[in-house]
Every structure is written in C-alpha cells, then in structure tokens.
Structure 1
Amino acid sequence: MKNFNKLFFVAGICMSSVSYAQTSNTVVSHIVKEATENSQLPTLAHELLDGIGPRLVGTPQFDKAGKWATDKYKSWGITARQEKWGDWRGWERGISHIDMVYPRIHSIEGTQLAWSPGMKKPVTAETIILADVADSTAFAKWLPAVKGKFVMISMNPVSGRPDDNWKEFALQGSFDKMKEERTAGTEAWRNRIKKTGYTTKTLAVALEKAGAAGIITNYWSQGFGVDKIFAAYTKTIPTVDIALEDYGLLYRLTENNEKPRITIQTESKELGAVPTFNIIGEIKGTEKPDEYVMLSAHFDSWDGATGATDNGTGTLTMMEAMRILKKVYPKPKRTILVGHWSSEEQGLNGSRAFVEDHPEIVANLQALFNQDNGTGRVVNISGQGFAKAGDFISKWLEAVPDTIRHQIKTNFPGSPGGGGSDFASFVAADAPGFSLGSNSWSYGNYTWHTNRDTYDKIVFDDLRSNAILTAILVYMASEDPNKFPRDKAELPGNSNTGQPGKWPQPVKANRHGGFE
C-alpha cells in the first residue's frame, strides 16, 4: 500500500508538471502571438518620442509624458499611478540659435545644455580656446583674457569619422596613427584642465565669474576619457554644445588666430522647485499578491534629442510587455509591477527613492528585470552575484523561443556590478534585480546623450524581441512555485589587498536636487 501511495504521489507530480508545462506553453505562445501580430511599439514610440519629446526631470515635457504613460496604462485596464518622491529644479527649454558671423556666415549645429540660463538678447563675440598653462597660478593670470568672449573648453576632435570607417577603409598604419593621436590629445587635454586647478564643473563657474560671454563644449571631444559635460553649471551665461564638425571648424580658426566671431541666442525659463515622480503600474496577483515581479526602466532622458535609445526603448519595452501580460495573463500568481523611474540620469534617484519608500516590496521581490542601454536585442544577463541565480533564470529562459534565447549569453552567479542603471538600486538592498543587457548598435558612441538619439534610431524587430523576452521572464518568475533565494555568492577578492569582495551598499536618493 505504501508503494502504491508513493507511485500515486509521483504520478500526481508528473501530471501536475505536464499540466503546468502545457499552461506555460499556451501562455508563452499567446505572448509571442500578441507581440508579433498586434505590436503597439511604433505607435507608442511616435506618441512618446515625436509627440512629447525629451523627458528631462523637472521639465513640463516630463510631466506631460508622465500623464501620457499613466493614461495609456489605464486604457489597457492596468492600474497606474504617479508616485511623488521629491522635488527638482524646474526648467523649460526655449530656442537655441548659434551662427558664425566672421570670417564668413555659417549656421552652426548646436544647442544649449540642460539648465542653461536664458539670455535676454543675442550676444556676438570672439571665441577663445582654454589656455594650456603651467599651473593654477599661471591660469589665474590668464583668466582675465576670457572677458567678453566665448570660451571653448573641449579638445579639438582628431577625426569626425567613426572607428568602423577607419577599420573598413584605412590602412592599418593610418588607423593606428589616428588612435595614437587621439589618445595623446585626450591625455593632453585632461592635463590642460587639471593644470587650471579646477574640475570641469568648477572651471565653468570660474570662467563665468571672469566675465566670459559663454561656454562652448563638444561632447565628442570628451568621448575618449575627458569628463563629459551634460548640463550647464553656469548661472548667468549660456553653456552650449556644438556638433563635432562645427566645433572643429571654430577651433581651427581660433587656433590660427583668425578671430572667428559667433552669435548665440538661447532662451529658457527657470520654474523653481517642481515635484518629481515615478510611474508605477500594477497587475494584482491572485495567489501571492504580496510577492512581486517587476519590470523596470528609467523614464527620464537628457533633452538634446528625444531620448529614443536612452531610455525610450527601455520604457517602450516595459510598456509593451505589460500590455501583453495584461491581455494574455490577466490573473498572475504574484503581483506584477512596472517602475518607470525619474532622475536616473542624475544618480538613480527615482529607483533609490522607491527602494527606500517600499521596504515591503523590496523584501518580497521575486525578480526585477531592467533594460537601459539602447535599442538592440538583449544579449547578456548576469546573475548579479546571487548564488542561485543560474538555477532560476536558466529555468525561466527555457520557455523563451530559441530564436531569442540562443542570442543571450549568461553569467552566473556573476557579481553585483554595473551600477549604471536602476537595477543596481535593488541589488544594493539585497533584492534580485537583473539587467537585460542589449546589443550596442553604437549606443555608447553615437546616440547616448546626444542630439542623434531620435525615433529613427530604433530597431523595432529587436525591440519586439525584447518585449517578448521580458513578458515571458516575468510570467515564468510569477508562476515559479519557489521563491527566489537571496544567498550571495562569494565575490572575488582584491588581488592587491587580499581583502574579500564587497556587495554594494544602498545610497540614499537625492530628493531635492538640481539646484547646485
């Protein structure tokens, strides 16, 4: 009789497993079908990126986008709310007009940086290059020379061609020579700034105090090791970023003492302290409503362009995955949440605030999946140092169609690194947050934080694959009968000190920022 009961029990488990597998296969096939035959991604992208535009924290466009997202979720039958977590410096972009007026007329491609102060009227002035001085004392003596001039504080670009061009067409010797010149130029410019006695940020303030007419930068000249400038640190004069080609032109003219003059007119408005918020969507769980699976992407962007790949694509992936899940899996076992975070660009502030404000969710988080590095298909998933991550994520990935799964490289248990996006806020609180790392599509050296980050850079086939992958991972994590364990893997030690590796510690959110 005992053997019979044992056999009956085993048979019951097998039948249950078969039933679960059949249910999983059905839901997964419905996810793929909905994503393939009824994709909303192009429409969502157009409405968010073309219609609303950039989403700099503290701007009216961020508020408008937040209302759009919550309304969109509600139209799909998904509960959604804006969750205020702090205040930020309110700012509204106006026009940016930059023209070279001497030695010839030329319209310059460029724009004011975020939080640049507005100008009462256009200013025409000569350009001057940041001097290469011996030390801070020599710089102090040179500083009066900037009065009434636009100061160029970025290095002269060595080449305007992408490295892919060089690899394809150049002789190897030419390519090597260019890279050597670029490396040497970068190091020389870094030292030039260092010898002033200022950082890039404090340098702008010093130039402003010395009477400069404005600050001119070039993002690409900072792309190989020199501090990048994403926002204005000036309070009364404009800070503008000029495209590589035009910056190089002005630099060469100035360097050759041809005394080019440019006219700059920028307009903007200071709006004081404004509330900022995360957007939280929810599909309530039926069996374990107090356990959670999360989708995650930051909602804010820089505003030189429309933030298509940073992080419009992550936002769209998570919205589309939520839409699909609500349609084909409306009664999940665990509660499904989506977090669209604000102020990621200023230090993961929105997600850090959520972690601080919701310890009950963090403590009962089954898994969080975050995407934030461009339009490409997901090709990397790390276990973030959780000892059992491989057991769970590998099992969840088995349900993903092979055409998507076979492209993904996994690293288990991995280590809790890569703190450049919002999953790190959760990992630092010992919660299982995972990054869906995407194929580059020249993200880091083309679209990231530039005026090229626009709708036309989206690869919708890759985005659709990411929405399918995310929806399936969330579904599998929700259905898993076991709770994800938080055992930590032993981290590799420091080879120099012999000290064991350390997990990241939580960092408090900056809840009242932007007024530095």
Structure 2
Amino acid sequence: MKRILSLSVLTVLLCFNIVTSQNKNSVIENIIAEANENSQLEKLGHELLDVIGPRLVGTPQMKQANDWAVSKYKSWGIDARNEKWGEWRGWERGITHIDMVYPRIQTLKGTQLAWNPSTTSEGVTAEVITLPANIKDSIAFQNWLPNVKGKLVMISMKEPTGRPDYNWEEFATEVSFQKMKDERDEQTKAWRENIGRSGYNGRTIIEALENAGAAGIVSSRWSRGFGVNKIFSARTKKIPTVDLELEDYTLLYRLAEYGDKPRIKIVAESKELGRVPNFNTIAEIKGSEKPNEYVILSAHFDSWDGGTGATDNGTGTLVMMEAMRVLKKMYPNPKRTILVGHWGSEEQGLNGSRAFVEDHPEIVKEIQAVFNQDNGTGRVVNISGQGFLHAYDFIGRWLQSVPQEIRGEIETNFPGFPGGGGSDYASFLAAGAPAFSLSSLSWSYWNYTWHTNRDTYDKIVFDDVRNNVILTAILTYMASEDEKTPRDQVKMPINPRTGEKRTWPSPRSPQRDGGKN
C-alpha cells in the first residue's frame, strides 16, 4: 500500500514538474534576470544626464545625445542611425549669474530662459521695478511705459506664500489654510485682470516692455513646491530674460514695493548658432520571420533645460535603451523587427515622431504595437487600450507574462478612447496604429520635476525604472511573437459640450523649421 502511495505521489510530482516546465518561458526568465542582475541603467543615466546634460532642441547637447545613443547601440550590436526630421534655431546656454548689488550684496538663485538673447560678459546692471499695481486702462499703461527705460522689469505675481499646499495642510489650522487659499485666489484673479487692462496679456506684454526700452525681464514661474520653478523659453529678442526662484523673486519684489530701489546685475551669456539640423535616433533589431512588421519602442529624447531632463524624458529614454540592450542579448532573432525611436522636439509639439509617421507610411502600416513612456520616473501604473476594440485581448494576453509584482501595480482601461496628444504615442495613434502609453506613478512629477529646475538625476527611482524595463521588454517580446493585432476602433461617443460625435484624432504635420526669433 505504501509503495502504491509513493508511486502515486511521484507520478503527481512528475506531472506537475512537466506542466511547470512547459509553462516557463526561458526568454522571459532571461529578460528578467538580465534586467535585474546586469542593469546598465545607472551608468546610462550618468552618461546621458550628468555628462551630456539637458537636450533642448537646436543645442549642441541634443546632437551630442543623438550621436552618443547611436554609438551605444552599435556597441551592443544593434544597428542605429540618426535620421534628420527638420531644422531649428541653434542656441547654446552659457554662464548665468544674477546678483543683487543694492541695497546689499546677495547672489540670487535663477537662470536664463531657453533661447535667451545673450548679454556681454560684463552683463546688465539696473534697478528692478514692478508693473503698476492698479492699471486703469490701456491708455494709462501706455503713459506709464516710458518708466521701464533702462530698468529690469518684474513680470510675475508676487506669490503670497513659498510653502506648497501640502505643507500648509499638514501644519496650518483649517481656518488659516482656507484663508490663505482664498486670498491667493483673489490675488491671482486681480493680477490677471490688472494685466488685461493694460491691453496685453502675460505673453504679449513682454514685447511691449522690450520695445519701450526695458533693460531686461525678470520672471518667476513657481511650481508650487519648495525651491522649484518651471523653466521655459525667453520671448525677448535683444534683452535678457531670467527666471528667479520664488524666495529671491519675492525678496526683490518687496524691496521694490517698499521703495528701496533694488539693483541687480545679470550676466546671461549664450550663443546663437544659426539654423541647425535636428534628428531622431532610430535603432533596429531585424525580424527573422516578418522583418517588415514592427514593434516600436518610443520615448522622446529632447528636454527643456532648467534641469537635465531626468524624468522628462531621461527615464523613458533609459527604459527603451535598456530594453533594447536586454532584448538584443536574450531575444536576438525576433519574429518581427523591433525598432526604437528616440524622438526630437516632442516638447514643441511632437515634431520628431510626427515627422517619422509622415516620412514612413510603409512602417506605420505594418506596426504591431507601439509602447511609449514619457511621464516621469515612476513604475508604470496604467495602460489604456486607446480606443482599439480588441485591445483587451492582446494587451491582456501579453501582460499575463509579466511578473505579478509588476503586473499587479497596473490598472488597465479597455478599450478606452484615443489620446489626442501629450506624448509621442499620439502621433502613431492618429495614423491608426495601435500605440499605447505606459503611464507612470507620479512621484510629485507635475510639481517637482516636469519642466523644472529640479528635474535631475537624483530624482530617478531606479527600482521603478528597472521594473519598467522588464515590463517593456516582455511586452515587446510577446507582441513580436503573437498573431497580428487588429485595428478595429471603438465607436466614438457624443461630445456633451457640442452635441456632436467625437472623431478619431487626425494626423498632423510636424513643424520642420522652428524656433525662429
């Protein structure tokens, strides 16, 4: 009896082992092991973000990044190239130094904005003034305008607090917190209305100030976090524009308000480089059975240059590069061609990816899937079907091969509706290709790193990024091996605002000749 029982147990165990071994996939296991045990993410991040730095379209650093990526791919045995998509205003950031020289000496924290007109090495020294607090109308403003001649003009509202809301919520009384918010709302509304009575808005007033003889523009675009500002582009043609961190900006504003007549010195050097070509970096692992069908990995390569573009979109770039490295090593002969696109000038309107879609209809027609990542350092927590009727079938099937500890963090939305913009997947989606955004956990992205002076290497959460590499590589492998994905689209709903039926997004042509001053 014992012998029979032992043989039965042995048979069950043998059958279990056979089933288990059949369920295991060595390619997937090897992908997970390589990504975890031989990760290149930290080194790639250092080379891209610390050494090359921010990748503003039209700068030498953008081209340096393109060339670096091609070289890196070739070192892994992956074919790569830079593909020109257009031209842009060439510009290179130089030294920025901002000092208050009266009523006392203090070095201020700030920077010149992108495409800022250069000062000389001696810089500009002048009194700082604010806009009038109570503009009666456009005529009164025109009568005031001569006052800006030779002055540095502050064009941003003086924030009533430098503490973010979450800090108030933690420590303030409920009454005090609400009082602050109400007063801030009133002040913001009054500020906008005051600007409006000048006959200009927050953007067009800059040209009026420059034409009236201002020596420079001083702004502060606070991002509702400690020490963090949004850094975008200058709108002046000949005079410098700098952004100061809130603490120093409000210091100057108070001095000017109280009649202390503060003076600052601005050195903001830069170089104009004329029209320069701009590129997408493309790399491919050729398909062995269906080389003319494509699984595309997608991330924009460019950034703003307040920080180093670490989470927008350095992390997305690192995920796609590392996924390609892992796939080349563990899945060197994919069924379909795996193509990665590192797109240029996403920040100015998805220009690089729109150009690729426009220039390569033969590829777009044969896309199996596009996986795009953009929004921050966090682990992927959401995938939408983007309006493809059968997305649940194939995305759901592919996700089942992803480890539970990664897959379990992800919410899905099927079939969803097509995204109209926001990142490069939309360029492919508009052309009817099944393109999906791998949407990340926030990690305070919108306040602290999105287009800010704090978007730097130290904000990367590499554990999350490694998870995203594994996710992306496995989805790519599964998409490469699976049957052809259907492109059936959902019926679009009625827009409640217009009463008309919504339509699928339409392809848009890129801006191929941009940044003109």
The TM-score range, normalised by the shorter chain, is: over 0.9
Deviates more, 1:165-174 or 1:296-305: 165-174
- Deviation string 1:440-459 (CA, Å, 9 cap, x unpaired) is 11111011111111110110
Distance 1:465 1:316 in 2: 12
Amino acid at match of 1:340: H
Partner of 1:216: 218
Distance apart, 1:144 and its partner CA: 1.4
| Count of paired positions | 495
Distance 1:23 1:510 in 2: 49
Distance 1:369 1:345 in 2: 19
Distance 1:337 1:221 in 2: 36
TM-score (norm 2): 0.92
Distance apart, 1:138 and its partner CA: 2.4
Distance apart, 1:185 and its partner CA: 2.7
Partner of 2:494: 493
Distance 1:358 1:71 in 2: 24
Alignment CA distance shift 1:503-1:135 (3 Å): farther
- Deviation string 1:108-137 (CA, Å, 9 cap, x unpaired) is 000000000111232111111122413323
- Deviation string 1:472-511 (CA, Å, 9 cap, x unpaired) is 1111111112x22111112221123321112211111000
Deviates more, 1:47-56 or 1:197-206: 197-206
Partner of 2:15: none
- Deviation string 1:65-114 (CA, Å, 9 cap, x unpaired) is 11111100000011100000111100011100100111111110000000
Q: Tell me, yes or no, if the aligned pair for 2:231 and 2:452 is still in contact at 8 Å.
A: no
Alignment CA distance shift 1:73-1:452 (3 Å): same
1:437 has 2:439 as partner: yes
Q: Aligned runs of 1:277-316 on 2, under 5 Å?
A: 277-316=279-318
Partner of 1:42: 42
Q: Please tell me the root mean square deviation across aligned C-alpha atoms, in Å.
A: 1.9
Paired residue secondary structure (2:458): helix
Of 196, 209, 220, 1:194 maps to 196
Deviates more, 1:455-464 or 1:228-237: 228-237
Distance apart, 1:28 and its partner CA: 1.3
Of 380, 390, 394, 2:396 maps to 394
Distance 1:252 1:221 in 2: 20
Distance apart, 1:419 and its partner CA: 1.1
| Structure 1 segments of 4+ aligned residues over 6 angstroms from their partners | 18-21
Partner of 1:89: 89
- Deviation string 1:316-352 (CA, Å, 9 cap, x unpaired) is 0110111111111111111101000111111110011
Q: Tell me, yes or no, if the aligned pair for 1:299 and 1:341 is still in contact at 8 Å.
A: yes
Q: Which runs of 5+ in 2 are unaligned?
A: 1-17
Partner of 2:61: 61
- Deviation string 1:291-334 (CA, Å, 9 cap, x unpaired) is 11111111011111111111111100110111111111111111
Amino acid at match of 1:338: V
Distance 1:334 1:19 in 2: 28
Alignment CA distance shift 1:21-1:141 (3 Å): farther
Q: Aligned runs of 1:87-486 on 2, under 5 Å?
A: 87-120=87-120, 121-131=122-132, 132-220=134-222, 230-417=232-419, 419-481=421-483, 483-486=484-487
Paired residue secondary structure (1:67): helix
Q: Tell me, yes or no, if the aligned pair for 1:96 and 1:266 is still in contact at 8 Å.
A: yes
Distance apart, 1:466 and its partner CA: 0.7
Partner of 2:71: 71
Q: Tell me, yes or no, if the aligned pair for 1:156 and 1:221 is still in contact at 8 Å.
A: no
Distance 1:350 1:316 in 2: 18
Q: Tell me, yes or no, if the aligned pair for 1:154 and 1:221 is still in contact at 8 Å.
A: no
Alignment CA distance shift 1:161-1:330 (3 Å): same
Partner of 2:513: 512
Distance 1:418 1:162 in 2: 31
Alignment CA distance shift 1:222-1:406 (3 Å): closer
Partner of 1:5: none
Distance apart, 1:221 and its partner CA: 6.6
Distance 1:126 1:318 in 2: 49
Percent pairwise identity: 68
Alignment CA distance shift 1:506-1:194 (3 Å): farther
Alignment CA distance shift 1:452-1:210 (3 Å): same
TM-score (norm 1): 0.92
Amino acid at match of 1:53: G
